[in-house]
Structure 1
Amino acid sequence: GLSPLALNLAYVLVKAGRLAIVDQMAEAYNAFADDRLGIVHARLSSAVPIGGEEQGRVEQWLEEYSGKKVVLESTIDPQLLGGLVIRMGDKVFDASVRTRLERLKRNLLRAGGGA
């Protein structure tokens, strides 16, 4: 069951017509708890499914980078030509084929004098 404090909070929210913010409160609490426990969430997007071993390597690298325990969620993004994109907090690690091709194009244009 819920603690009396939690029940009282629910009562106050209902009385104030603010029950709709319960989801936001839960998200904020979870973010606070994760921060206190040293947990960070990341999303890996790829054009094709990533195998368990590869995902484990990405997770390990992110943990070394962040110094926190990483909870990695994988999604398939059919708009990616290949490679992967990782979002972790406000950081984006873009190792997609599209980004690599754009960098190559910029470098070639720069080397060729913009022609």
Structure 2
Amino acid sequence: MLNYRYNLKELLSALESAGELDFFVTDIFRFNLVCEENFGVRELLFDEHIARESKSEYFNQVFAGMLGNNFREFMRQLIENNDLPFYDLISRKFIELLGREKNSVFAEVLTAVDLTPEQQGLIQKELERLEDKKVYLHNIVSRNVLGGLVIKCGEKMLDLSLQSGLEQLKAALAV
């Protein structure tokens, strides 16, 4: 059983040994995106006044089939131990640890549709050139992206979305 509670390095090693590391990281990003895009999900899951059983049932309903077994087990432990308020800190520390251990950075590419493997490869190669380190790239389809893409890489964000372009055009025409 994966246990985040005592040692994130152990969690990292267990995921890596099982060949599940990339899936787990993708699930972190996917969970964060669902919480960001759907009002009420985060509020309900993180409300200290709601019973653990209700949170667990809600989590299972909302994320059924969307997240891998390891991440679901990780979240089950957080819920069971009343540690959900620490989710952001734990997940951020996990990503930081992975970045240090693997000399890497994680990039989310938000798009309206799935990128092809070739498109992902081109973006990953360019980000690795710019960052001068290994880049783990995760494409996430977001309903907030109408076209184009938004790249979040570490603390940096590059917005190449259609909406951003239209806003820039609107601002230029208003002058």
Q: Same fold (TM over 0.5)?
A: yes
1:49 equivalent to 2:114? Answer yes
Alpha-carbon separation, structure 1, partners of 2:91 and 2:172: 47
Distance 1:99 1:26, change over 3 A: closer
CA distance in 2, matches of 1:81, 1:29: 31
Deviation at 1:102, TM superposition (A): 0.3
Task: Determine which structure has the larger strand proportion and give its number.
Answer: 1
- Aligned-residue sequence identity (percent) comes to 29
- Closer/same/farther in 2, CA of residues 33 and 48 from structure 1, 3 Å limit: closer
- List structure 1 runs of 4+ shifted beyond 6 angstroms: none
Q: Which has the larger radius of gyration?
A: 1
How far residue 80 of structure 1 moved from its aligned partner, in angstroms, is: 1.3
- Quick one: which of 57, 60, 66 aligns to 2:131? 66
- What are structure 2's unaligned runs of at least 5 residues? 1-5, 8-80
Q: Pairwise mapping of residues 18-57 of structure 1 onto structure 2 (< 5 A)?
A: 20=83, 28=93, 31-57=96-122
After superposition, the CA RMSD in angstroms is 2.7
How many Å separate the matches in 2 of 1:25 and 1:108? 45
TM-score of the superposition, structure 1-length normalised? 0.69
Which residue does the alignment assign to 1:93? 158
State the partner residue of 2:144.
Answer: 79
Which structure has more relative contact order (CA 8 Å, sep 6+)? It is 1
> 3-state SS of the aligned residue for 1:43?
strand
Larger % of helix: which?
A: 2
Mapped to 2, the partners of 1:78 and 1:29 lie a distance apart of 27
Structure-2 change in CA distance of 1:30 and 1:100 (3 Å): closer
Which sections of structure 1, spanning at least 5 residues, go unmatched? 1-5, 8-17, 111-115
